[in-house]
Each structure stands twice: as structure tokens, then as C-alpha cells.
Structure 1
Amino acid sequence: MSAAARPRLLYVTDLAYPARGRRYCDEDIHLTSRLRAHFDLALCHPLDAARLMDGFDAVVVRNSGPVLGYAAQYRAFREHATRTGARVYNPLTGKADMAGKQYLLELTEAGFPVIPTVDRADDLHRLPAADRYAVKPKLGADSIGLEFVTADLLPALTYGSILVQPRVEFSYEVSFYFVDHDLQYALYAPDPARRWDLQPYAPTAEDREFARRFIEWNGLAHGIQRVDACRAPGGELLLVELEDLNPYLSLDVLDDAGRDAFVAATTRSLHRFLAG
């Protein structure tokens, strides 16, 4: 392909977002430096995406931070993309965190292996007994608004925009990273108190099937997704969240071969996405 025919990508990232335990800027500087070998690429802040996107073949949303901080601008971005038919990667049809955390209710109702979740006081009896309960906003992200309360406080909460889950005393958290429907790698946090102190994890066939089930449920043909799970006291994995908007990838934990493989898979995915 000639240089003139190279696809033009607008890469959306907030390089200055102060993520706890992560450096968004390092990850996106590395990834864009590699993608430039295949695409004409420009970076922009999420607040500028709607104004700039028309001049590009596709918009790649990466480490753009929680949309709670710019909800109106994010709605304008989605509306503009829908109205103009702009290609957005990940596609805006995701049913998981991209649309808020109410999907945890849907998955609970459907019998998926997920931490049991309710959003009404009348349904509290459906949760297993626990010492404490996690209360989180349906539109939360990055633990914003998360709090833990005892059972006696649950009836008095204001319902409608919150979810309630039992606090699970898990042994560790593990994340599975997918490009399209292909698992690329897995990482885990051996110490539950240090979520972002990650190490490589060798998933079993059962682990892979667990994670793939959620990817298939979400139905995105293209894109980067992260399945976060915890190892429950009974030994089973339970879904914590399915990040389908802008999952942080922890590429710094991978070795050179792992990063190369991820970049290659993402490059192939973007070419397929643009050709579709």
C-alpha cells in the first residue's frame, strides 16, 4: 500500500489522566509509536474527538479515562459518530461497561458466573449473606463512587442509579485481554490489596472458556476488550467487569515478544475493521 493510501486514524487518549497505579501516557506512546508503521495517526484528547473525527478513516478510543468527567462531550461524540456513520474502534454497540454497569444485572439474571448484583431494595434478599456489600454507581468507572457498607445500611440507600453486590473475599483478581475474539494474554494480581501489581498468568482451558463466554455475549466483531474476574473462595471465577470501551492493557508487564504479538494482532484487527 502506498503512503498516500494509508488509513488515517484519530487515536483518542487522555495522556495526563492520573490513573492509580498506571501510566496511561506510557502505554499509549508505545502503542501509537508501533501503529504508525501501518497507519497515518494523530492523537487527540477525548474533549476534542467530536470536532476532529471527520478527517479520519476511523477513531480509535484508547486510554481516554472515565467518561463521567466529560459526559456531555462523550454523548456528543457518540451522537456525531452515529449521525455521520463514522467508524469507531471499539464499535459503539458494546453492551458492557461502554453502556454502564447495568449489564451486571442482565448477566446475573441470565445465570452467568458473575458476582450477584441487584439494583432494588426489594431484591436484596436475592444476594448471599456477606460481612459487607459493595455499592457502586451504574455509570461508575475506575472505582469512582464505590463504597462498602454493612447489611443494616442497605435498606436505607437511594436506589435507581446504584448497584449492590456482596463483597467477595477472593484470593486474587485476573484479567483476560482480547483482540476481537482472540485471547492475547492474561495477567493477575496475586495480592488482592494491590490491584495493579500484575504478573503474567497462564490460563487453563476452563479459564479461557470462562472469559470467552463474556466476549461472545457482548457480540463485538472487532475491538480490544478486557475481562476482569476474581477467584472466589470456592475456586470458581466470577466476573468483576467486562471493559469494552477503553481498557487499560498493562503492556508494560509483558515481555518484548508479548508486546509484539499484541501490536500485530491489533494491527490486523484494525485493517479488518477498516475493510469491513
Structure 2
Amino acid sequence: MPAARPRVLYVTDLAYQARGRRYCDEDIFLTSRLRAHFDLALCHPLDTAALMDGHDAVVVRNSGPVLGYQRAYDAFRARALEHGSRVYNPLTGKADMAGKQYLLDLTAAGYPVIPTVDRLADLHRLPPAHRYVVKPRLGADSLGLRIVPATRLDTHAGDDVLIQPHIDFAYEVSFYFVDDDFQYALYAPDPRRRWELKPYAATAADLEFARRFIDWNELGHGIQRVDACRAPDDGLLLVELEDLNPYLSLEALPERDRDAFVGAFTASLSRFVRGAVSAM
């Protein structure tokens, strides 16, 4: 018999040190609110595979870059898929959850994304640039990202990296969704200070842009963050689609908007967990 209240295993690394952000504060706040609705247990990502049985759902939140514990994450994924465990976000994500291949796929499909290639031989497909961004194919949280001059690009290219032109954008902006519903947007007015964020009033055109990537990913449930930059032609280009464990920057929101997000997250997770319990 299932418990009277759903049992949720909440995965977080409270000790992870991120530049300009305190992951632990966000998860302490969220779990303090979720406890009103769920029987909640917190665990480190290294312990997830061992502890996930006996819970109605596993919620992966601020667990840090997977590169730091790749073998443990692979074991967790394999166990969850083998046993049909309910994981939020679902493990079907096609974006950062699966690496950076999606940037190549979206470029080839003509989506408004920073043009991306993975071979020097394809450099002609990119707009000419004096500098290029080289990032690991399996990178996260800017780990391993380098900006190199065009004259030295050949020394940094390889099978495990992606290449993009360096764009002098006006600012970066992020759009946050729960399931398919837009929640809020934040932007960094100063490109040199990526995590000094302020609320952003998204236009209808902005949301149409962001929803293209939410629709493409077909995740169904969960939290996603669409990161974009305002290009010199005033259009938006996708930087990343974070569908594994996006940091939410809730501290940058007014209290009313923060409460609204918590309500949407709680409702989404409740629907997700009910689906797990009803399948038992």
C-alpha cells in the first residue's frame, strides 16, 4: 500500500560551489515548502541509486555538473530505466541532459541557436569571427569552456569539443518553464556579470522563441530553462536548453513571483507523483 503522502527522494549537492550562486540556499528553500505536501528525503547524487527504491518519485535538482560523478549518474540512470522509476525531470530530455549534441542538431535544423559545428572542416558553415567559443561536448556550468582567437583554433579543436563563433551580445536572458507553462524570465544586463540577474518583462516574440525549444524537447513534465542571448541584430539566439537540473535563481525574484513558482512546481510534482502511485 502506498503511503498516505507521496514519498519523494530529492537529489541535491548542498556543498557544491558554483560561481555567483548558492545552490544550497535554493534547495533548502524549496524543500522547506515541499515538505507541506510530500514525505521528503534529501540525498547526495552519489547516493541516489542506492536510496531511490521505496520512493514514489526522484526529483533531481541542484546536483551539480554530471561530469563530477559520471559513473554514479550513469548507474542511477540505468537503474531508473530498468525499474521504471519515476524521475523528475524525466530522463527523456534531448537537450543538456543528453550532452551538447542538440546544439548541432538544432543548427542543422535551422533553429535560432548560436551556430555550432564539431569539426574544423565544417568551420565554413559558421559566420566568420575573430574569436571562437570552444566547449566540451559533455560540458556543464561553463566547465572547460574557452574563448580562443581564430589563429589558434586548430590547437583547441578535437573530437570532444564543439565550436561556435564568439558573439558580442547585448545581454543574456533566461526563460523558466514548469511543464509547458512559462513562469518567469530573468536577464543579466551586464554581459560580464552573468549571475547578477534582474526580472525581465518577456514579450510575446520572446516567449514564441522560447516555446519553440520547449516544444522541441517534448519533455512533458519538469522544470526547464531556456538560456538565450540578444544578438547584434536584436534577435534572440539559444545558448543552452537546460533540462536536467537548471538553477532557478529564485533569490532574484520578488516574493510574489517566487511563491507563484513554488505553487506551479508543487502542482506539477503532485500530478507527476500521482501518476506513479496510480500505476502501482
* SS in structure 2 at match of 1:93: coil
Q: Write the distance in 2 (CA, Å) between the matches of 1:220 and 1:273.
A: 12
* SS in structure 1 at match of 2:42: strand
- 1:83-122 maps to which residues of 2 (within 5 A)? 83-122=82-121
Amino acid at match of 1:258: D
Residue of structure 2 equivalent to 1:171: 170
TM-aligned CA deviation for residue 156 of structure 1? 4.0
Render the CA deviation track for 1:148-203: whole Å, top value 9, x for unaligned.
Answer: 11112223444211000001100000000000000000000000000000000000
Q: Write the distance in 1 (CA, Å) between the matches of 2:28 and 2:224.
A: 19
Calculate the aligned-residue CA RMSD, in Å. 1.0
Q: Write the distance in 1 (CA, Å) between the matches of 2:82 and 2:113.
A: 35
Q: List runs of 5+ in structure 1 lacking aligned partners.
A: none
- 1:56-71 maps to which residues of 2 (within 5 A)? 56-71=55-70
Amino acid at match of 2:213: F
* Paired-residue identity, %: 74
Residue of structure 2 equivalent to 1:155: 154
* SS in structure 2 at match of 1:54: coil
Q: Normalization by structure 2: what TM-score? A: 0.96
* SS in structure 2 at match of 1:267: helix
TM-aligned CA deviation for residue 5 of structure 1? 1.1
Task: Check the 8 A contact 2:97/2:244 in 1, yes or no.
Answer: yes
Task: Check the 8 A contact 2:134/2:157 in 1, yes or no.
Answer: no
Q: Write the distance in 1 (CA, Å) between the matches of 2:80 and 2:190.
A: 41
Matched, 1:218 2:231: no
Render the CA deviation track for 1:95-146: whole Å, top value 9, x for unaligned.
Answer: 0000001100000000000000000121011111112100000100111101
Q: Write the distance in 1 (CA, Å) between the matches of 2:155 and 2:59.
A: 42
Q: Write the distance in 2 (CA, Å) between the matches of 1:156 and 1:32.
A: 46
Task: Check the 8 A contact 2:130/2:149 in 1, yes or no.
Answer: yes
Q: List runs of 5+ in structure 2 lacking aligned partners.
A: 276-280
Q: Write the distance in 2 (CA, Å) between the matches of 1:131 and 1:192.
A: 19
Q: Write the distance in 1 (CA, Å) between the matches of 2:215 and 2:270.
A: 21
Render the CA deviation track for 1:230-253: whole Å, top value 9, x for unaligned.
Answer: 000000000000000000000011
Q: Write the distance in 2 (CA, Å) between the matches of 1:40 and 1:116.
A: 45
Amino acid at match of 2:110: G
- 1:120-159 maps to which residues of 2 (within 5 A)? 120-159=119-158
Q: Write the distance in 1 (CA, Å) between the matches of 2:104 and 2:48.
A: 31
Q: Write the distance in 2 (CA, Å) between the matches of 1:223 and 1:45.
A: 20
TM-aligned CA deviation for residue 4 of structure 1? 4.3
Residue of structure 1 equivalent to 2:248: 249
Q: Write the distance in 2 (CA, Å) between the matches of 1:4 and 1:218.
A: 33
Task: Check the 8 A contact 2:11/2:58 in 1, yes or no.
Answer: yes
* SS in structure 2 at match of 1:209: helix
Q: Write the distance in 2 (CA, Å) between the matches of 1:30 and 1:186.
A: 20
Residue of structure 2 equivalent to 1:236: 235
Q: Write the distance in 1 (CA, Å) between the matches of 2:54 and 2:157.
A: 44
Q: How many positions carry a matched residue from both structures?
A: 274
* SS in structure 1 at match of 2:53: helix
Residue of structure 2 equivalent to 1:54: 53
